[in-house]
Chain A
Amino acid sequence: MSRKLSVNIAGVELKNPIVTASGTFGSGKEYAQFIDLNRLGAITVKGVSHEPWQGNPPPRIAETHGGMLNAVGLQNPGAKDFIEKDLPFLKNFDTKIIVNLCGRTIEDYIAVTQDFSNAAIDFFELNISCPNIKAGGMSFGTERKSAEEVTRAVKKHAGKTPVIVKLSPNVTDIVSIAKGAEAGGADGLCLINTLLGMKIDIHKKKPILGNKVGGLSGPAIKPVAVRMVYQVAKAVSLPIIGTGGAATWEDAIEFIMAGATAVSVGTANFSNPRATIEMLDGIIAYMENNDIKNINEIRGIIE
Protein backbone atom coordinates (compact mmCIF):
# COMPACT_ATOMS: atom_id res chain seq x y z
CA MET A 1 0.00 0.00 0.00
CA SER A 2 1.06 3.54 -0.50
CA ARG A 3 2.35 5.32 2.53
CA LYS A 4 1.93 9.03 3.03
CA LEU A 5 5.31 10.69 3.17
CA SER A 6 4.27 14.23 2.42
CA VAL A 7 4.52 16.90 5.06
CA ASN A 8 3.16 20.40 5.26
CA ILE A 9 5.19 23.44 6.23
CA ALA A 10 3.33 26.74 6.40
CA GLY A 11 0.77 25.61 3.82
CA VAL A 12 3.37 24.29 1.36
CA GLU A 13 3.40 20.55 0.76
CA LEU A 14 6.76 18.79 0.60
CA LYS A 15 6.50 15.35 -1.04
CA ASN A 16 8.62 13.90 1.74
CA PRO A 17 10.46 15.16 4.84
CA ILE A 18 14.00 15.01 3.36
CA VAL A 19 15.51 18.44 2.75
CA THR A 20 19.09 19.49 2.00
CA ALA A 21 20.82 21.94 4.31
CA SER A 22 22.11 25.29 3.22
CA GLY A 23 25.77 25.52 2.29
CA THR A 24 26.21 21.79 1.77
CA PHE A 25 24.38 21.27 -1.47
CA GLY A 26 25.55 24.22 -3.57
CA SER A 27 22.62 25.03 -5.76
CA GLY A 28 21.80 21.41 -6.46
CA LYS A 29 23.67 21.10 -9.76
CA GLU A 30 26.68 19.39 -8.26
CA TYR A 31 24.57 16.60 -6.78
CA ALA A 32 22.28 16.04 -9.75
CA GLN A 33 24.74 13.47 -11.10
CA PHE A 34 24.49 11.35 -7.95
CA ILE A 35 20.82 11.53 -7.07
CA ASP A 36 17.45 12.35 -8.60
CA LEU A 37 16.71 15.82 -7.25
CA ASN A 38 13.01 15.20 -7.96
CA ARG A 39 12.95 12.80 -5.03
CA LEU A 40 13.87 15.45 -2.46
CA GLY A 41 11.23 17.15 -0.34
CA ALA A 42 13.06 20.44 -0.72
CA ILE A 43 16.46 21.85 -1.56
CA THR A 44 17.88 24.61 0.59
CA VAL A 45 20.39 26.52 -1.46
CA LYS A 46 23.62 28.06 -0.23
CA GLY A 47 23.36 31.31 1.74
CA VAL A 48 22.61 34.33 -0.41
CA SER A 49 23.24 37.96 0.44
CA HIS A 50 22.19 41.16 -1.34
CA GLU A 51 25.75 42.05 -2.35
CA PRO A 52 28.50 39.47 -3.04
CA TRP A 53 30.39 38.29 0.06
CA GLN A 54 34.00 37.24 -0.34
CA GLY A 55 34.15 34.91 2.65
CA ASN A 56 36.91 34.12 5.15
CA PRO A 57 40.61 33.45 4.51
CA PRO A 58 41.56 29.76 4.16
CA PRO A 59 41.89 27.21 5.60
CA ARG A 60 38.13 27.07 5.95
CA ILE A 61 37.66 23.38 6.79
CA ALA A 62 38.91 21.22 9.65
CA GLU A 63 37.78 17.68 10.32
CA THR A 64 37.12 16.76 13.94
CA HIS A 65 36.10 13.50 15.60
CA GLY A 66 32.72 12.69 14.08
CA GLY A 67 32.32 16.18 12.77
CA MET A 68 33.85 19.07 10.90
CA LEU A 69 34.44 22.74 11.46
CA ASN A 70 33.82 25.27 8.74
CA ALA A 71 34.54 28.94 8.52
CA VAL A 72 33.57 29.66 4.93
CA GLY A 73 32.07 32.99 5.88
CA LEU A 74 29.07 32.61 3.54
CA GLN A 75 31.04 33.38 0.40
CA ASN A 76 28.49 33.93 -2.34
CA PRO A 77 28.17 35.99 -5.52
CA GLY A 78 25.04 37.82 -4.38
CA ALA A 79 21.31 37.44 -5.01
CA LYS A 80 21.30 38.80 -8.56
CA ASP A 81 23.88 36.27 -9.71
CA PHE A 82 22.05 33.46 -7.92
CA ILE A 83 18.70 34.34 -9.49
CA GLU A 84 20.24 34.52 -12.98
CA LYS A 85 22.53 31.49 -12.86
CA ASP A 86 21.29 28.98 -10.30
CA LEU A 87 17.56 29.37 -9.88
CA PRO A 88 16.62 28.45 -13.50
CA PHE A 89 18.39 25.09 -13.09
CA LEU A 90 16.51 24.30 -9.88
CA LYS A 91 13.18 25.16 -11.49
CA ASN A 92 13.63 22.11 -13.75
CA PHE A 93 12.97 19.82 -10.82
CA ASP A 94 9.82 18.85 -8.99
CA THR A 95 11.01 19.83 -5.54
CA LYS A 96 10.53 22.84 -3.30
CA ILE A 97 13.15 25.57 -3.18
CA ILE A 98 14.23 27.15 0.08
CA VAL A 99 16.45 30.22 -0.29
CA ASN A 100 18.74 30.86 2.66
CA LEU A 101 19.16 34.58 3.30
CA CYS A 102 22.01 36.25 5.13
CA GLY A 103 22.88 39.80 6.06
CA ARG A 104 24.97 41.88 8.42
CA THR A 105 22.32 44.47 9.15
CA ILE A 106 18.52 44.49 9.15
CA GLU A 107 18.72 46.60 5.98
CA ASP A 108 20.84 43.86 4.32
CA TYR A 109 18.19 41.27 5.14
CA ILE A 110 15.42 43.47 3.77
CA ALA A 111 17.42 44.15 0.60
CA VAL A 112 18.06 40.49 -0.12
CA THR A 113 14.41 39.62 0.60
CA GLN A 114 13.36 42.26 -1.93
CA ASP A 115 15.82 40.85 -4.48
CA PHE A 116 13.58 37.77 -4.59
CA SER A 117 10.27 39.63 -4.91
CA ASN A 118 9.76 38.36 -8.47
CA ALA A 119 11.53 35.01 -8.12
CA ALA A 120 9.46 31.86 -7.92
CA ILE A 121 10.70 30.21 -4.76
CA ASP A 122 8.84 28.31 -2.06
CA PHE A 123 10.41 29.48 1.20
CA PHE A 124 12.86 31.92 2.66
CA GLU A 125 15.15 30.55 5.32
CA LEU A 126 16.53 33.29 7.48
CA ASN A 127 20.07 32.69 8.67
CA ILE A 128 20.17 34.70 11.88
CA SER A 129 23.56 33.35 12.93
CA CYS A 130 25.31 36.10 10.95
CA PRO A 131 27.11 38.73 13.01
CA ASN A 132 25.11 41.91 13.45
CA ILE A 133 27.56 44.69 12.60
CA LYS A 134 25.55 47.33 14.45
CA ALA A 135 25.55 45.22 17.63
CA GLY A 136 29.32 44.80 17.77
CA GLY A 137 29.29 41.62 15.68
CA MET A 138 27.05 39.63 18.00
CA SER A 139 24.81 37.34 16.00
CA PHE A 140 21.15 38.26 15.48
CA GLY A 141 20.20 34.82 16.68
CA THR A 142 21.68 35.06 20.16
CA GLU A 143 19.11 37.47 21.57
CA ARG A 144 15.37 37.12 21.59
CA LYS A 145 14.81 40.77 20.75
CA SER A 146 17.11 40.92 17.71
CA ALA A 147 15.82 37.56 16.46
CA GLU A 148 12.29 38.92 16.63
CA GLU A 149 13.25 42.20 14.96
CA VAL A 150 15.01 40.66 11.99
CA THR A 151 12.21 38.13 11.51
CA ARG A 152 9.57 40.88 11.54
CA ALA A 153 11.58 43.00 9.08
CA VAL A 154 11.98 40.16 6.59
CA LYS A 155 8.42 38.96 7.01
CA LYS A 156 7.17 42.45 6.12
CA HIS A 157 8.93 42.28 2.75
CA ALA A 158 8.53 38.57 2.02
CA GLY A 159 5.06 38.84 0.49
CA LYS A 160 3.35 35.46 0.37
CA THR A 161 6.60 33.48 0.64
CA PRO A 162 6.75 31.74 4.02
CA VAL A 163 9.72 32.62 6.23
CA ILE A 164 11.55 29.88 8.11
CA VAL A 165 13.96 31.14 10.75
CA LYS A 166 17.12 29.08 11.24
CA LEU A 167 18.18 29.15 14.87
CA SER A 168 21.67 29.22 16.31
CA PRO A 169 22.43 26.70 19.06
CA ASN A 170 25.05 29.02 20.57
CA VAL A 171 22.57 30.41 23.10
CA THR A 172 21.61 29.85 26.70
CA ASP A 173 17.95 29.19 26.01
CA ILE A 174 16.96 28.27 22.46
CA VAL A 175 13.28 28.20 23.38
CA SER A 176 13.38 31.91 24.13
CA ILE A 177 14.90 32.67 20.69
CA ALA A 178 12.32 30.39 19.04
CA LYS A 179 9.56 32.33 20.75
CA GLY A 180 11.14 35.57 19.56
CA ALA A 181 11.06 34.34 15.97
CA GLU A 182 7.46 33.21 16.43
CA ALA A 183 6.50 36.61 17.81
CA GLY A 184 8.22 38.23 14.82
CA GLY A 185 5.92 36.32 12.49
CA ALA A 186 8.02 33.29 11.48
CA ASP A 187 6.11 30.64 9.54
CA GLY A 188 8.50 27.89 10.56
CA LEU A 189 11.81 27.18 12.27
CA CYS A 190 14.91 25.31 11.23
CA LEU A 191 17.30 24.13 13.91
CA ILE A 192 20.11 23.86 14.63
CA ASN A 193 22.79 25.83 12.85
CA THR A 194 26.42 24.89 13.63
CA LEU A 195 27.95 24.99 17.11
CA LEU A 196 30.88 27.36 17.44
CA GLY A 197 34.09 25.39 17.82
CA MET A 198 37.85 25.46 17.42
CA LYS A 199 40.72 23.12 16.54
CA ILE A 200 44.40 23.80 17.16
CA ASP A 201 47.33 22.45 15.16
CA ILE A 202 49.66 21.60 18.04
CA HIS A 203 52.71 21.33 15.74
CA LYS A 204 52.24 24.75 14.14
CA LYS A 205 50.90 26.07 17.46
CA LYS A 206 48.01 27.87 15.83
CA PRO A 207 44.34 27.32 15.01
CA ILE A 208 43.71 25.29 11.85
CA LEU A 209 41.03 27.62 10.56
CA GLY A 210 42.03 30.94 9.01
CA ASN A 211 39.17 32.45 10.97
CA LYS A 212 40.42 30.71 14.16
CA VAL A 213 36.91 29.53 15.08
CA GLY A 214 34.21 27.92 12.99
CA GLY A 215 30.92 26.08 13.01
CA LEU A 216 30.87 22.44 14.09
CA SER A 217 28.57 20.13 12.14
CA GLY A 218 28.19 16.41 11.53
CA PRO A 219 27.12 13.44 13.67
CA ALA A 220 29.06 14.85 16.65
CA ILE A 221 26.37 17.50 17.18
CA LYS A 222 23.28 15.36 16.58
CA PRO A 223 22.33 14.75 20.23
CA VAL A 224 22.40 18.50 20.86
CA ALA A 225 20.24 19.08 17.79
CA VAL A 226 17.69 16.41 18.74
CA ARG A 227 17.45 17.84 22.26
CA MET A 228 16.89 21.38 20.96
CA VAL A 229 14.28 20.28 18.42
CA TYR A 230 12.49 18.41 21.19
CA GLN A 231 12.52 21.44 23.52
CA VAL A 232 11.42 23.91 20.87
CA ALA A 233 8.70 21.63 19.47
CA LYS A 234 7.17 21.45 22.94
CA ALA A 235 7.23 25.23 23.34
CA VAL A 236 6.11 26.71 20.03
CA SER A 237 3.43 25.74 17.51
CA LEU A 238 5.50 26.37 14.37
CA PRO A 239 6.58 23.56 12.04
CA ILE A 240 10.24 22.64 12.49
CA ILE A 241 12.91 21.49 10.06
CA GLY A 242 15.28 19.49 12.24
CA THR A 243 18.94 19.53 11.30
CA GLY A 244 22.36 18.94 12.80
CA GLY A 245 24.29 15.76 12.12
CA ALA A 246 21.51 13.78 10.49
CA ALA A 247 23.27 11.24 8.30
CA THR A 248 21.13 8.09 8.31
CA TRP A 249 17.43 7.23 8.12
CA GLU A 250 17.52 6.39 11.81
CA ASP A 251 18.70 9.92 12.52
CA ALA A 252 15.84 11.32 10.44
CA ILE A 253 13.26 9.27 12.38
CA GLU A 254 14.81 10.50 15.63
CA PHE A 255 14.39 14.13 14.59
CA ILE A 256 10.79 13.51 13.53
CA MET A 257 9.95 11.77 16.80
CA ALA A 258 11.52 14.72 18.64
CA GLY A 259 9.05 16.99 16.86
CA ALA A 260 10.51 17.90 13.45
CA THR A 261 8.18 18.04 10.44
CA ALA A 262 11.09 17.69 8.03
CA VAL A 263 14.77 16.81 8.35
CA SER A 264 17.56 18.67 6.69
CA VAL A 265 20.73 16.86 5.63
CA GLY A 266 23.98 18.81 5.60
CA THR A 267 27.46 17.50 6.29
CA ALA A 268 26.33 13.96 5.41
CA ASN A 269 26.27 15.07 1.75
CA PHE A 270 30.05 15.42 1.98
CA SER A 271 30.57 11.97 3.49
CA ASN A 272 28.14 10.39 1.07
CA PRO A 273 26.75 12.32 -1.90
CA ARG A 274 23.81 9.88 -1.98
CA ALA A 275 22.96 10.31 1.73
CA THR A 276 19.62 12.08 1.17
CA ILE A 277 18.18 9.38 -1.09
CA GLU A 278 19.48 6.55 1.09
CA MET A 279 17.80 8.22 4.09
CA LEU A 280 14.53 8.56 2.20
CA ASP A 281 14.57 4.88 1.17
CA GLY A 282 15.34 3.95 4.78
CA ILE A 283 12.39 5.97 6.06
CA ILE A 284 10.06 4.25 3.59
CA ALA A 285 11.33 0.81 4.66
CA TYR A 286 10.92 1.75 8.33
CA MET A 287 7.33 2.83 7.72
CA GLU A 288 6.57 -0.43 5.96
CA ASN A 289 8.20 -2.56 8.64
CA ASN A 290 6.35 -0.72 11.40
CA ASP A 291 3.09 -0.29 9.53
CA ILE A 292 3.18 3.48 9.71
CA LYS A 293 0.71 4.76 7.12
CA ASN A 294 1.52 8.44 7.46
CA ILE A 295 4.88 9.88 8.45
CA ASN A 296 3.07 12.57 10.44
CA GLU A 297 1.83 9.86 12.83
CA ILE A 298 5.23 9.67 14.49
CA ARG A 299 5.99 13.35 14.58
CA GLY A 300 6.60 14.58 18.11
CA ILE A 301 5.57 11.31 19.73
CA ILE A 302 8.19 11.68 22.43
CA GLU A 303 6.47 12.96 25.52
Chain B
Amino acid sequence: MKEFFFEHAEIIENKSISREIFSMKIRMGDLKNARAGQFVMVYLEKGEMLLPRPISICDIDSNTLEIVYQVVGKGTKVMSEMLPGQCLKILGPLGNGFKIETGQRVALVGGGIGVPPLFLLAKTLVANGMKVNAYLGFRTAPILAERFQTVAENVFIATEDGSVGHRGFITEILQSSNEKYDEIFACGPLPLLRALAEFSQATEIPCQVCMEERMACGLGTCVGCVVRVGESYVRICTEGPVFSANEVNWNE
Protein backbone atom coordinates (compact mmCIF):
# COMPACT_ATOMS: atom_id res chain seq x y z
CA MET B 1 0.00 0.00 0.00
CA LYS B 2 1.21 3.49 -0.86
CA GLU B 3 2.37 5.77 1.93
CA PHE B 4 0.67 9.14 1.76
CA PHE B 5 1.11 12.31 3.67
CA PHE B 6 -2.30 13.65 4.67
CA GLU B 7 -2.01 16.32 7.34
CA HIS B 8 -2.12 20.01 7.96
CA ALA B 9 1.23 21.43 6.89
CA GLU B 10 2.68 24.81 7.65
CA ILE B 11 3.35 27.33 4.92
CA ILE B 12 6.92 28.60 5.19
CA GLU B 13 6.89 30.91 2.20
CA ASN B 14 4.32 32.00 -0.38
CA LYS B 15 5.49 34.58 -2.89
CA SER B 16 4.77 35.80 -6.36
CA ILE B 17 7.52 34.83 -8.81
CA SER B 18 5.84 36.24 -11.89
CA ARG B 19 2.52 37.72 -12.85
CA GLU B 20 -0.19 35.42 -11.40
CA ILE B 21 2.40 32.73 -10.60
CA PHE B 22 3.33 31.88 -7.03
CA SER B 23 5.84 29.67 -5.30
CA MET B 24 4.70 28.12 -2.02
CA LYS B 25 7.01 26.26 0.34
CA ILE B 26 5.37 23.96 2.83
CA ARG B 27 6.87 22.06 5.75
CA MET B 28 5.79 18.45 5.43
CA GLY B 29 6.59 15.13 7.06
CA ASP B 30 8.61 12.52 5.30
CA LEU B 31 8.96 13.26 1.59
CA LYS B 32 11.44 10.56 0.69
CA ASN B 33 8.87 8.70 -1.41
CA ALA B 34 8.05 11.74 -3.56
CA ARG B 35 9.30 11.73 -7.15
CA ALA B 36 9.42 14.21 -9.99
CA GLY B 37 6.18 14.25 -11.96
CA GLN B 38 4.02 13.44 -8.95
CA PHE B 39 1.52 15.90 -7.50
CA VAL B 40 -0.19 16.83 -4.26
CA MET B 41 -3.79 17.70 -3.47
CA VAL B 42 -4.22 21.01 -1.65
CA TYR B 43 -7.39 21.15 0.49
CA LEU B 44 -8.74 24.66 0.83
CA GLU B 45 -11.35 23.65 3.42
CA LYS B 46 -13.58 26.51 2.31
CA GLY B 47 -17.20 25.41 2.21
CA GLU B 48 -18.13 26.61 -1.25
CA MET B 49 -14.89 25.31 -2.81
CA LEU B 50 -15.28 21.63 -2.17
CA LEU B 51 -12.57 20.02 -4.16
CA PRO B 52 -8.87 19.88 -3.43
CA ARG B 53 -6.56 21.44 -6.02
CA PRO B 54 -4.06 19.17 -7.76
CA ILE B 55 -0.65 20.87 -8.00
CA SER B 56 2.58 19.36 -9.29
CA ILE B 57 5.67 19.06 -7.13
CA CYS B 58 8.30 21.60 -8.20
CA ASP B 59 11.03 20.84 -5.68
CA ILE B 60 11.80 18.99 -2.49
CA ASP B 61 14.41 19.95 0.06
CA SER B 62 14.42 17.47 2.96
CA ASN B 63 11.07 18.17 4.65
CA THR B 64 10.13 21.16 2.52
CA LEU B 65 7.82 20.82 -0.44
CA GLU B 66 7.73 23.54 -3.06
CA ILE B 67 4.77 23.96 -5.37
CA VAL B 68 4.59 26.57 -8.10
CA TYR B 69 1.06 27.41 -9.17
CA GLN B 70 -0.79 29.86 -11.35
CA VAL B 71 -3.83 31.77 -10.14
CA VAL B 72 -6.47 30.53 -12.56
CA GLY B 73 -9.59 30.62 -10.41
CA LYS B 74 -11.01 31.19 -6.96
CA GLY B 75 -9.18 28.31 -5.30
CA THR B 76 -5.71 29.27 -6.45
CA LYS B 77 -6.59 32.89 -5.61
CA VAL B 78 -7.25 31.81 -2.01
CA MET B 79 -3.94 29.94 -1.99
CA SER B 80 -2.10 33.02 -3.26
CA GLU B 81 -3.41 35.05 -0.32
CA MET B 82 -2.22 32.64 2.36
CA LEU B 83 0.62 33.70 4.63
CA PRO B 84 3.60 31.94 6.16
CA GLY B 85 2.60 30.34 9.44
CA GLN B 86 -0.84 29.38 8.15
CA CYS B 87 -1.59 25.72 7.52
CA LEU B 88 -2.99 23.84 4.57
CA LYS B 89 -4.11 20.26 4.42
CA ILE B 90 -1.97 18.42 1.89
CA LEU B 91 -2.34 14.92 0.46
CA GLY B 92 0.44 13.34 -1.51
CA PRO B 93 2.57 12.42 -3.22
CA LEU B 94 0.08 11.15 -5.81
CA GLY B 95 0.42 9.71 -9.28
CA ASN B 96 3.16 7.72 -10.95
CA GLY B 97 5.86 10.33 -11.68
CA PHE B 98 8.47 10.24 -14.45
CA LYS B 99 10.25 6.96 -15.10
CA ILE B 100 13.98 7.48 -14.97
CA GLU B 101 15.62 5.19 -17.51
CA THR B 102 19.29 4.85 -18.32
CA GLY B 103 19.52 7.42 -21.13
CA GLN B 104 22.58 9.65 -20.94
CA ARG B 105 21.45 12.75 -22.76
CA VAL B 106 17.96 14.06 -22.19
CA ALA B 107 15.86 17.06 -23.15
CA LEU B 108 13.31 18.55 -20.79
CA VAL B 109 10.64 20.55 -22.57
CA GLY B 110 8.28 22.70 -20.55
CA GLY B 111 5.61 25.21 -21.44
CA GLY B 112 4.28 27.86 -19.07
CA ILE B 113 2.95 26.46 -15.81
CA GLY B 114 4.10 23.03 -17.06
CA VAL B 115 7.71 24.03 -16.33
CA PRO B 116 7.73 23.58 -12.49
CA PRO B 117 7.51 19.74 -12.31
CA LEU B 118 10.51 19.55 -14.65
CA PHE B 119 12.71 21.27 -12.09
CA LEU B 120 12.73 18.39 -9.60
CA LEU B 121 13.13 16.10 -12.60
CA ALA B 122 16.20 18.03 -13.78
CA LYS B 123 17.78 17.73 -10.34
CA THR B 124 16.99 14.01 -10.18
CA LEU B 125 18.37 13.30 -13.66
CA VAL B 126 21.57 15.25 -13.01
CA ALA B 127 21.99 13.40 -9.71
CA ASN B 128 21.73 10.20 -11.78
CA GLY B 129 24.64 11.35 -13.92
CA MET B 130 22.69 12.42 -16.98
CA LYS B 131 23.27 15.38 -19.22
CA VAL B 132 20.20 17.60 -19.16
CA ASN B 133 19.24 20.34 -21.58
CA ALA B 134 16.14 22.34 -20.65
CA TYR B 135 13.86 23.91 -23.27
CA LEU B 136 11.45 26.29 -21.60
CA GLY B 137 8.69 28.11 -23.43
CA PHE B 138 6.46 30.94 -22.19
CA ARG B 139 3.96 33.45 -23.51
CA THR B 140 6.01 36.27 -22.05
CA ALA B 141 7.94 36.31 -18.76
CA PRO B 142 9.94 33.10 -18.03
CA ILE B 143 9.79 31.44 -14.61
CA LEU B 144 12.44 29.32 -12.85
CA ALA B 145 14.97 29.89 -15.65
CA GLU B 146 17.82 30.81 -13.29
CA ARG B 147 17.15 27.76 -11.20
CA PHE B 148 17.30 25.48 -14.21
CA GLN B 149 20.63 27.13 -15.08
CA THR B 150 22.07 25.87 -11.78
CA VAL B 151 21.39 22.22 -12.70
CA ALA B 152 20.97 21.84 -16.47
CA GLU B 153 23.89 21.92 -18.89
CA ASN B 154 22.05 24.28 -21.23
CA VAL B 155 18.84 26.22 -20.82
CA PHE B 156 17.00 27.43 -23.92
CA ILE B 157 14.20 29.95 -23.61
CA ALA B 158 11.48 30.91 -26.05
CA THR B 159 8.73 33.45 -25.56
CA GLU B 160 5.79 33.99 -27.87
CA ASP B 161 6.19 37.78 -27.68
CA GLY B 162 9.98 37.62 -28.04
CA SER B 163 10.55 39.45 -24.75
CA VAL B 164 13.16 36.89 -23.66
CA GLY B 165 15.10 34.41 -25.81
CA HIS B 166 13.81 33.01 -29.08
CA ARG B 167 10.62 34.57 -30.39
CA GLY B 168 8.18 31.76 -31.07
CA PHE B 169 7.64 28.24 -29.80
CA ILE B 170 10.15 26.28 -27.76
CA THR B 171 9.71 23.26 -30.04
CA GLU B 172 11.36 25.28 -32.83
CA ILE B 173 14.62 25.38 -30.85
CA LEU B 174 14.41 21.66 -30.09
CA GLN B 175 13.72 20.81 -33.74
CA SER B 176 16.71 22.79 -34.99
CA SER B 177 19.06 21.31 -32.38
CA ASN B 178 21.87 18.98 -33.48
CA GLU B 179 21.89 17.20 -30.13
CA LYS B 180 21.09 13.49 -30.21
CA TYR B 181 18.81 12.91 -27.26
CA ASP B 182 18.08 9.53 -25.71
CA GLU B 183 14.80 10.72 -24.21
CA ILE B 184 12.50 13.73 -23.94
CA PHE B 185 10.50 14.65 -20.83
CA ALA B 186 7.73 17.20 -21.20
CA CYS B 187 5.01 19.06 -19.37
CA GLY B 188 2.88 21.89 -20.65
CA PRO B 189 -0.21 22.77 -22.63
CA LEU B 190 -1.82 20.16 -24.89
CA PRO B 191 -0.61 21.69 -28.21
CA LEU B 192 3.00 21.53 -26.96
CA LEU B 193 2.64 17.90 -25.84
CA ARG B 194 0.95 16.98 -29.12
CA ALA B 195 3.78 18.60 -31.11
CA LEU B 196 6.35 16.70 -29.04
CA ALA B 197 4.49 13.44 -29.57
CA GLU B 198 4.79 14.00 -33.34
CA PHE B 199 8.46 14.95 -32.96
CA SER B 200 9.04 11.81 -30.87
CA GLN B 201 7.39 9.65 -33.49
CA ALA B 202 9.35 11.22 -36.36
CA THR B 203 12.72 11.05 -34.60
CA GLU B 204 12.08 7.83 -32.65
CA ILE B 205 13.24 9.55 -29.48
CA PRO B 206 11.08 8.25 -26.61
CA CYS B 207 9.09 10.97 -24.88
CA GLN B 208 7.33 11.02 -21.51
CA VAL B 209 4.61 13.61 -21.03
CA CYS B 210 3.12 14.85 -17.75
CA MET B 211 -0.59 15.66 -18.16
CA GLU B 212 -3.32 17.45 -16.25
CA GLU B 213 -7.11 17.42 -16.11
CA ARG B 214 -9.86 18.61 -13.78
CA MET B 215 -9.85 16.27 -10.78
CA ALA B 216 -12.12 15.55 -7.87
CA CYS B 217 -10.54 12.94 -5.59
CA GLY B 218 -6.97 12.50 -6.86
CA LEU B 219 -7.07 8.92 -5.60
CA GLY B 220 -8.61 7.08 -8.53
CA THR B 221 -12.10 6.67 -7.11
CA CYS B 222 -14.12 9.21 -9.09
CA VAL B 223 -12.70 8.37 -12.56
CA GLY B 224 -13.02 12.06 -13.39
CA CYS B 225 -9.58 12.94 -14.79
CA VAL B 226 -9.12 10.77 -17.82
CA VAL B 227 -7.10 10.77 -21.01
CA ARG B 228 -7.59 8.46 -23.95
CA VAL B 229 -4.84 5.83 -24.09
CA GLY B 230 -5.34 3.41 -26.96
CA GLU B 231 -9.06 2.71 -27.01
CA SER B 232 -9.86 3.38 -23.38
CA TYR B 233 -9.96 6.24 -20.92
CA VAL B 234 -7.41 5.97 -18.14
CA ARG B 235 -7.12 8.02 -14.97
CA ILE B 236 -4.51 10.77 -15.00
CA CYS B 237 -4.29 10.78 -11.18
CA THR B 238 -3.55 7.09 -10.86
CA GLU B 239 -2.20 5.61 -14.10
CA GLY B 240 -0.61 9.02 -14.82
CA PRO B 241 -0.01 11.91 -14.75
CA VAL B 242 3.05 10.76 -16.71
CA PHE B 243 2.43 8.80 -19.88
CA SER B 244 4.52 7.72 -22.80
CA ALA B 245 3.71 10.20 -25.59
CA ASN B 246 3.11 7.42 -28.10
CA GLU B 247 0.41 5.72 -26.01
CA VAL B 248 -1.79 8.82 -25.68
CA ASN B 249 -4.51 9.36 -28.26
CA TRP B 250 -3.82 12.97 -29.28
CA ASN B 251 -6.85 13.30 -31.54
CA GLU B 252 -9.30 13.70 -28.64
Contacts and interface: CB of A to CB of B under 8 A. Distances in A.
Interface of A: 23-26, 30-34, 46, 54-55, 57-63, 65-68, 70, 72, 75, 208, 218-219, 267, 269-273
B219 A61 contact: no
Interface stretch (B12-20, B118-126, B150-158, B210-218): B210-218
B50 A271 contact: yes
A257 B220 CA distance: 33
B202 interface: no
A63 B49 contact: yes
Contacts of B75: 63
B223 A55 contact: yes
B52 to A, nearest CB: 7
Contact of B233 (A34, A55, A62, A271): A55
Interface string B214-252: 111101111111110001110000000000000000001
Interface in B25-71: 43, 45, 47-52
B213 A70 contact: no
Contacts of B217: 24, 30, 269-270, 273
28 contacts: A23-B221, A23-B222, A24-B217, A24-B221, A30-B219, A32-B1, A33-B1, A33-B4, A55-B233, A58-B224, A58-B252, A59-B213, A59-B214, A60-B214, A60-B226, A61-B51, A61-B224, A61-B225, A63-B50, A65-B48, A68-B50, A68-B216, A72-B222, A72-B223, A75-B226, A75-B233, A267-B216, A271-B43
Contact of A273 (B49, B91, B223): B91
A94 B202 CA distance: 55
B223 A60 contact: yes
A191 B48 CA distance: 23
Interface of B: 1-2, 4, 6, 43, 45, 47-52, 75, 91, 213-217, 219-227, 231-233, 252
Contact of B48 (A25, A34, A66): A66
Contact of B222 (A24, A57, A58, A208): A24
A219 B219 contact: no
Contacts of A271: 43, 45, 50-52
A219 B47 contact: yes
Given A30-B220, A63-B49, A57 B232 contact: no
- Which one of B43, B214, B220, B221 has the highest number of Cβ atoms from chain A below 10 Å of its Cβ? B221
B219 A26 contact: yes
Contacts of B6: 34, 273
Contacts of A65: 48
